[in-house]
Amino acid sequence: MIYLLMTGKELLLHAQKNKYAVGAFNVNNMEIIQAIMGAAEELNSPVILQASQGGLKYAGVEYIAALGKLAANSSKLPVALHLDHGTDFEQVMQCIRHGFSSVMIDGSRFPLEENIAFTKRVVEIAHMVGVTVEAELGKIGGTEDHITVSEKDATFTNPVEAKRFVEETGVDYLAIAVGTAHGVYQGEPKIDYDRIKKIRNTVDVPLVLHGSSGVSEESLKKAVECGICKINIDTDIRASFARAVKEYIKENPDQIDPRKILKPATESMKKTIMEKMKIFGSVNKG
Active site residues: 84
**Shortest reach from residue 85's CB to Zn ion, in Å:** 6
Distance separating alpha carbons of residues 286 and 282, to the nearest angstrom: 8
Q: Which is nearer to ligand G3H, 115 or 248 (CB)?
A: 115
Q: Which stretch binds ligand G3H (CB under 6 A): 14-22, 189-197, 229-237, 263-271?
A: 229-237
Cα 171 to chain centroid distance, Å, stands at: 16
Give residues 10-49 in contact with Zn ion (rule: CB under 5 A). none
| Number of chain positions touching ligand G3H (CB under 6 A) | 15
Q: Cα dihedral sign for 17, 270, 233, 106? A: negative
Q: What stretch of H or E contains 25?
A: strand 22-26
Least Å distance, CB 182 to Zn ion, is 5
Q: Three-state DSSP class for 26?
A: strand
Task: Give the interface segment with ligand G3H, choosing from 1-9, 70-78, 211-219, 273-281 (CB under 6 A).
Answer: 211-219
Contact in structure between 257 and 26 (CB atoms under 8 Å): no
Q: Does 234 bind ligand G3H (CB under 6 A)?
A: yes
Taking alpha carbons only, the member of 174, 226, 179, 233 closest to residue 198 is 226
CB closer to Zn ion out of 78 and 141: 141
CB of 35 to ligand G3H, least distance (A): 15
Listing DSSP states for 233-264 in one string gives E-HHHHHHHHHHHHHHHHH-TT---HHHHHHH
| Residues 168-197 interacting with ligand G3H (rule: CB under 6 A) | 182-183
Per rule CB under 6 A, is residue 233 in the interface with ligand G3H? Answer: yes
- For residue 129, the minimal CB distance to ligand G3H (Å) is 23
- Residue closest to 82 by CA, chosen among 158, 165, 12, 13: 12
Stretch that binds Zn ion, among 42-50, 117-125, 143-151, 193-201 (CB under 5 A): 143-151
147-149 vs 141-144, strand pairing mode: antiparallel
Closest CA to 92 of 103, 84, 82: 103
Q: Does 144 bind ligand G3H (CB under 6 A)?
A: yes
The site string for Zn ion over 209-238 (x = CB under 5 A, - otherwise) reads -x----------------------------
Show contacts with ligand G3H in window 54-93 (CB under 6 A): 84-85
Are 175 and 210 spatial neighbours (Cβ–Cβ below 8 Å)? yes
Diameter of the chain measured on Cα atoms:
59
Q: Is residue 96 within 8 Å of residue 59, measured between CB atoms?
A: no
Our CB check for ligand G3H shows the closer of 14 and 238 to be 238
Minimum CB distance to ligand G3H, residue 256 (Å): 31
Q: Which is nearer to ligand G3H, 69 or 210 (CB)?
A: 210
Question: Is 235 near ligand G3H (CB under 6 A)?
Answer: yes
Residues that bind ligand G3H (CB under 6 A): 26, 84-85, 144, 182-183, 210-213, 232-236
